[in-house]
């Protein structure tokens, strides 16, 4: 018998139309989107909404564990669905980003003592470094 796992899709029924629409946009996009991107994508459609509303609903989706957010060295916030288990290696100098092909955390689990009763929803993990181009530029400077 396979162990029962919580269905991560279950909370979707509790989203309002705007939240569901933002989540759909993030799931359809092949890469992470900023709040501005989402705002621009929905502009001119029946689902258009103000930028402040976009961020308010994104925060709600984050609280539900459906969307995660990471910040680039520039301060820009990028959003993606948590179901996409994707990690990045980012250059601290020029900000160029590489998507890692596999999740190094995949086989890592927290034990019940570490969890302390928390229900785990998702994880984030980021790597930072200097890209080959920036290493070369700094070496020749």
User: Total residues contacting Zn ion (rule CB under 5 A)?
Assistant: 8
Contacts to Zn ion from residues 21-50, by CB under 5 A: none
- Which region holds residue 116: left if phi is over 0, alpha if psi is between -120 and 50, else beta? left
How far is residue 27's CA from residue 76's CA, in Å, rounded to a whole number? 20
Taking the complex as a whole, the smallest distance from the CB of residue 34 to Zn ion amounts, in Å, to 20
Is position 93 an interface residue for Zn ion (rule: CB under 5 A)? yes
Among residues 76, 85, 126, 136, which is the contact residue for Zn ion, using CB under 5 A?
Answer: 85
Site for Zn ion in 95-134 (CB under 5 A): 103, 105, 131, 134
Radius of gyration of the chain measured on its C-alpha atoms = 18
Distance CA 77, CA 85 (A): 18
Q: Which stretch binds Zn ion (CB under 5 A): 23-31, 32-40, 62-70, 88-96?
A: 88-96
Name the residues that contact Zn ion, by CB under 5 A.
85, 91, 93-94, 103, 105, 131, 134
């Amino acid at each position: 018998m396979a162990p029962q796992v919580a269905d991560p899709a279950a909370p979707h029924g509790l989203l309002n139309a705007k939240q569901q629409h933002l989540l759909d946009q993030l799931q359809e996009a092949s890469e992470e989107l900023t709040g501005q991107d989402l705002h621009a994508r929905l502009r001119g459609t029946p689902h258009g909404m103000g930028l402040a509303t976009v961020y308010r609903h994104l925060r709600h989706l984050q609280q539900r564990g459906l969307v995660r957010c990471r910040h680039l060295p520039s301060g820009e916030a990028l959003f993606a669905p948590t179901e996409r288990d994707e990690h990045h290696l980012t250059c601290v100098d020029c900000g160029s980003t590489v998507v890692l092909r596999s999740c190094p955390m995949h086989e890592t689990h927290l034990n019940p003592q570490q969890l302390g009763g928390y229900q785990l929803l998702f994880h984030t993990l980021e790597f930072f470094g200097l890209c080959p181009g920036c290493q070369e530029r700094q070496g020749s400077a």
